[in-house]
Amino acid sequence: MNSTDLGKALRQLRQAGGREAKAVARSAAMSPSKLSKIENGHLAPSIMDVERILAAMNVPEDVKAQLTEAARAVATEATAWRIYRRTGLHKHQEDIRAIEAQTRCLRVFQASCIPGLLQSAEYVRAVQQNSELSDEALEKMIGARLRRQEALYDQQHSFHFLITESALRWELVRPTMMAAQLDKLATMSRMPNITIGVVPQSAPKTEIPTCSFVMFDKRLVIVEIPHAEISTSEPRDVEQYVKKFTEFERLAVTGDGMRHMIEGIRDDFLRQQETG
């Protein structure tokens, strides 16, 4: 099945269910024009696109599995960040937000910085400081990133974050802002549906943190590398990341121990500010 056949199958499925294109597009958090391009074979859908469309149509699991498998065969698995910057990083944030809304258990391993769902506005700005975005594009991106964080307050969804200690100590913003960012982590960790674990630098490790990744239930993984974002729903690939997450989770400090560690790092930043 090529992208044209996949689009045709999605259109026929929608029409068979008596669903209007505008309604499906709205539920899938995409524009009607994008849905039209996908259905007519003018745009190869990503795995995330197909999942959102199928969820919007509430199709049976066997049909969903069949078309998701077809999407894996035709979708471009790696998308360069420059493509997202050209089309609008804020739009990509909205795409991710739509997938997160359909996810019951979200697991994040972050080896290089604070996870996006836990970032302060100042931290988001610092992460994007070398992205060559215009001021307007940057503000849109920050707004979209912060809107994603609203999902954290939905008690029907659970969030599991693993962060390396080195990421917490990486000074992306001035010390007082880093201290405030760490206070935010400690506060969010007290929510009943959120678990935050820190992998200590001193812990004996058997896995190498080669990349940061996000797992949406056990159906989709998004991997971040310097020049691109890679998505996969291939079961064998997903299982590899499940095992990697489980190994890092075994080493992580959580609960009061994690908060005590974070407070110590925060105090280090505050002392740095005082002597700077």
Summarize pLDDT for 168-204 with one digit per residue, the tens.
Answer: 999 999 999 999 999 999 999 999 999 999 999 998 8
The pLDDT score that the predictor gives to residue 76 is 45
- Topology of domain 3-76 in CATH is 434 Repressor (Amino-terminal Domain) (1.10.260)
Cα–Cα distance, 158 to 217 (Å, whole number): 10
pLDDT score for 1: 63
What is the band of 235 on the pLDDT scale with cuts at 50, 70, 90?
Answer: confident
b/e map 198-226, b = 16+ CB within 10 Å: bbbeeeeeeeebebbbbbbeebbbbbbee
State the pLDDT confidence band at 2, using cuts at 50, 70 and 90: low
In CATH, the architecture of 79-275 is 2-Layer Sandwich (3.30)
Q: What is the mean pLDDT of residues 137-160?
A: 94
Q: Is 192 exposed, middle or buried (0-12, 13-18, 19+ CB in 10 A)?
A: exposed
pLDDT of residue 214: 97
In whole numbers, what is the pLDDT of the chain averaged over residues? 90
Q: Cα angle vertex 139, ends 133, 144, to 5°?
A: 105
Give which of 169, 229, 230, 175 is closest to 200, Cα–Cα: 169
Return the residue matching tokens 């790696």.
Answer: 78
What is the domain partition of the chain in residue ranges?
A: 3-76, 79-275
pLDDT digits (tens, 9 = 90+) for 74-107: 654 678 888 888 888 998 898 899 889 889 999 9
pLDDT in tens, 28-86: 989 999 999 999 988 878 888 888 899 899 888 888 888 887 777 665 467 888 888 88
Helix (H) or strand (E) holding 223: strand 220-225
Residue 75: per-residue pLDDT: 56
Q: How many CA atoms lie within 13 A of 208 on its CB side?
A: 1
- With 60 as the cut, is the pLDDT of residue 266 above it? yes
> Bigger pLDDT: 69 or 213?
213
Contact 198, 165 (CB under 8 A): yes
